[in-house]
Structure formats: C-alpha cells, structure tokens
Copies of this chain bind each other. A is one copy, B any other.
Amino acid sequence: MRIAVIGYGGVGKAFIKLLANKKQDLENQGINFTVNYILSSSGGIYDSKGIDCKEVIEFSNKENILANYHKGGSSELNFSKLIEKKDVDVLIELTPTNKDTGEPGMTYIKDALKKGINVITGNKGPILLAYNELNTLAKQHNVQLAVGCTVGGALPSINGGLIDMAGSEILSIEGILNGTTNFILKEMEDNNSTYKQALEKAQNLGIAETDPTLDVEGWDTASKILILTNVLMNQNKTLKDVDVEGITKLTIQDINNAKIEGQRYKLIGKSKKANGNIHLQVKLKKISSNDMLFNVDGKNKAIRYVSDTLGELVIFGGASGVTPAAASILRDLINIYRGYHFS
C-alpha cells in the first residue's frame, strides 16, 4: 500500500518513526507499506519508490524543514500535487485541529475521498463537524474513512463499538475520555488538594494546558462522546446537543463525602438511547468501588458499551503520548490493509 502523510508534527513524526521501527515486523507478516509523500505546511518529500523512513527520522532529528531533505525534498510540494498525481492508496491526515472550520484537514479529507483515496485521520475537527458527510463521501467512492485516533488514541473506542460489538445494537456509551480531568480528580482525592492546586500541578507537569478550559469544562469529553455517538449510533448530532458539565466547581468536601461512601468522582461522557431519542451528556458522577470504571485512574481512559445481544463491554487502556497515538493510526492502516470496511 502506498501512503501519504500530511502533517509532520508530533504524531506525524512518531508515525514515520513507528513505520521505520516496525518495517521488519510488518514485512515478516507479509505487509508492505511504502510512504510516497510526507507533507508539511512548507513543502515536503516525495519519492515514487518509497521514502526511507529511518533516514527521514535521522534527518528531522537535526533539521525541521522537510523540503531540505536531499532525496525528493521540495518546498514546491503540496497537497494539490498529490491530488493531481493520485499515486497513493491511503492519506494519513494529521494536520492541526480546528474545531470551528475543520480546516485545512476538512478539504484534504474531502478531496482525497473524492479521488478514491482511503483516509485515516487523527484530526478531531473535521470528524466532529462533518463525520456523516465525510463517511457518505467515502461510501460513494468505495473507500474507507478511519477515525480511531480521534477518540482516546490508543484506546480502541471506535474499534470496540464498530468491530467488537458488530451485529448488536449499542444502547448506551459511557466513558472516562479525558486524561487531564481524570488526573486532577485523582490528585484532589489522593492529596486532599483543592481543584485549583490540582490544576496547577497538572499544568506544571504539562498534563493540563495553560488555558485548560476545553478539558476542565468538559468540552473535550463532549467532543469525544459526540464522535462516538455519530460513528457508532449512526447519528448526526452536534456539540449543541450535548448537556455539558465540567469539574471546576468540585470541592474537597465533595470528594471526601464521596470517599466516606466508598465512591470516587469521575467525569463521565454518556450517550443513551431512550424512547427513540439519544441523550448526550457530560457529567461528574460518583462511581462505586464495584464498578469497572472505579479503577480508571489518572491519565487512563475507559469506555463502556451496553448492547442488546452482546451484553456489556468495558475497554480500558489508551496509553498517552504521540507514540500510542501513532500506533492507533497504524492500527487503522493495518485493519484497512486486512480488508476491513469502516465506511
């Protein structure tokens, strides 16, 4: 399979590195991937015979400008050239997320699908705004759109709902989907910290951003439960349909009262079918010690599906960082290679 990677930030670079490291393993399994394009916002690299990923990683450990790479690097190279040539099977779309317009990823994804190129994306923006439209495009052009990396990275949340629950009807989805808030809650619990103290610690450790609003007010969780709902329950909801609560008002007193009852607060994203409707919410909930979600601590994530015929499924995991995120892109790539029809 011939691959183009667009977006050479943390995950893009980790993905190229992963392909270099896994080259032998994959070849032993009979899987051959060639990377024909690596594109950034200032040009990129093209090699019709396949770029040497190991060499590119060594190069980009020293230098940032892909266009300066000696074999096929060019500042003139861009997405339009790729679309003209159409000489790849899969586009790995890893450009920066924009949750208002989805651009530039939105255009890249649409154009690729229209040209009959499969797309794997780790970019939440376009999927949040237009999953249904994009998935319909994929179907129309008989190619795949895989979005596993957009919800929980290494946590196989989309796979879980789509493949592990295949043939059953998902009645509810419930998850701890945001590592930052989960870390803050554990910090408050373990060290009797106030919300403010715990947030500061998370910021100092680089776990929370300087402006933590999207995480702590529940919007990141809302985006994720929204994507899961649209992908797995065949809906076309928007963020406006989600009833969202954050963790900022939680006090030490609340945490301690819960402790006395043997419970822990968790920020839960939930989507539930009832009377023909879907109810979407993000809420702080007290979880009992015999619940599988009780032990989902710190930066960990988990998702619970309840179905009609396969019962309950809880998936726990999702290592954090750019390597596991890149590994989740590789997972989608291999599953497309193995013939799976996501769209």
Binds B, one of A51-59, A121-129, A164-172: A164-172
Tell whether, in the assembled complex, residue B294 and residue A309 are in contact, meaning their CB atoms are under 8 Å apart: no
Binds B, one of A90-98, A265-273, A311-319: A311-319
A250 proximity list for chain B (CB < 8 A): none
A65-117 interface with B by 8 A CB criterion: none
Tell whether, in the assembled complex, residue B25 and residue A169 are in contact, meaning their CB atoms are under 8 Å apart: yes
Contact partner of A313 among B156, B291, B333, B340, CB < 8 A? B156
Most buried by B among A169, A312, A327: A327
A1-47 interface with B by 8 A CB criterion: 18, 22, 25-26
Provide the main secondary structure of the chain A interface. mixed
Tell whether, in the assembled complex, residue A313 and residue B317 are in contact, meaning their CB atoms are under 8 Å apart: yes
**Size band of the interface chain A makes with B:** 35 or more
A285-343 interface with B by 8 A CB criterion: 289-292, 294-295, 297, 309-319, 323-324, 326-328, 330-331, 333-335, 338-341
A339 proximity list for chain B (CB < 8 A): 339-341
A100 to chain B, nearest CB (A): 31
**How far is B314's CA from A311's CA once the two chains are assembled, in angstroms?**
16
Tell whether, in the assembled complex, residue A312 and residue B317 are in contact, meaning their CB atoms are under 8 Å apart: yes
A139-168 interface with B by 8 A CB criterion: 154, 156, 159-160, 163-168
Interface 1/0 per residue, A164-205 and B, CB below 8 Å: 111111000000000000000000000000000000000000
A18 proximity list for chain B (CB < 8 A): 309
Query: Which residues from chain A sit less than 8 Å from chain B, CB to CB?
Result: 18, 22, 25-26, 154, 156, 159-160, 163-169, 289-292, 294-295, 297, 309-319, 323-324, 326-328, 330-331, 333-335, 338-341
24 A-B interface contacts by CB (under 8 A): A18-B309, A22-B167, A156-B163, A156-B165, A159-B163, A164-B164, A166-B330, A166-B334, A166-B335, A167-B331, A167-B334, A168-B331, A292-B292, A292-B295, A294-B295, A309-B324, A309-B326, A309-B327, A312-B319, A313-B317, A314-B314, A314-B315, A338-B341, A340-B340
